[in-house]
Amino acid sequence: MKRPPCVLTIAGSDSGAGAGIQADSRTIHALGGYALTAITAITAQNTRGISAWRATPSSLIAAQITAVLQDFPVRALKTGLLPGANAMRVVATALESHPRLPLVVDPVIGSTSGTRFLSASGIRTLAKTLLPRATLVTPNWPEAEALTGIRIKTFDAAELAAHRLLETGCQAVLVKGGHGPGPVCRDCLVTKSGRVRWFESPRVTTRNTHGTGCVLSAAIAMGLAHGKSVEDATAGAHAFLIRCLNSGRKVSFGAGGGPAFIR
């Protein structure tokens, strides 16, 4: 039996399983991988929002990452919720001895329901510590605004923000277009070589978009673990997310509606 590629996700736990570690793990397994985890925070949440959350001690975050990397043949990494500057620093330090492992950074600043996880100081630390190490950074429009200071109301501004984020030293940026206007959702991928590619699809109207960024970034990490290029991994992950969103329209787990559902 062929051993599945191992992917380590460093993110928060979602008790409603719509996002975070749970969504990442489901995605990785659905795409033929083996999910390893380092939990950065514990949240009490459901389809309607977050009622409480607490950060994992930074030393324990580092210990989880070290334990996994010392024993498993990890092929790719991804980060999600990193609750503060100290967490980012310990993650960056823990990854220093593995510079060739592809890293997808999903810069989670707040939840879909409005809970804020990062201060302005935390955002600056993210840009200085982890973005330079990233193979790909996957912000949505509000996250790209917070990281660049560029006001994003148009797709042209989204592309400009992607180019600005490349200045942090990352290899590529995918500015997700879920917050954009119109019936077509447009994600902008810009690579260090200067190549720009737009991924377009009809907008899928759902009651709950909670966790879509987690699914997309985890799926891209799986593509990289399989040896795909950033562009090919992103294309495959984009198609996978659309299938999940369409499945989610038919499933409702709670009062807030079903999140992206992975079959």
Catalytic (active site) residue 212? yes
Catalytic (active site) residue 209? yes
Contact predicate 114/221, CB 8 Å: no
* H helix or E strand, kind and range, residue 13: strand 6-14
Q: How many CA atoms lie within 13 A of 230 on its CB side?
A: 23
Q: How far apart are CA 246 and CA 164, in angstroms?
A: 33
Catalytic (active site) residue 176? yes
Catalytic residue among 33, 211, 256, 258: 211
Catalytic residue among 177, 214, 223, 234: 214
Q: How far apart are CA 239 and CA 224, in angstroms?
A: 15
Catalytic residue among 18, 176, 180, 234: 176
Catalytic residue among 37, 43, 135, 212: 212
Catalytic (active site) residue 153? no
Catalytic residue among 84, 177, 213, 223: 213
CB atoms within 10 A of CB 176: 26
Q: How far apart are CA 82 and CA 89, in angstroms?
A: 10
Catalytic residue among 12, 209, 234, 257: 209
Please name the amino acid found at residue 131.
L
Residues annotated catalytic, as ranges: 176, 209, 211-214
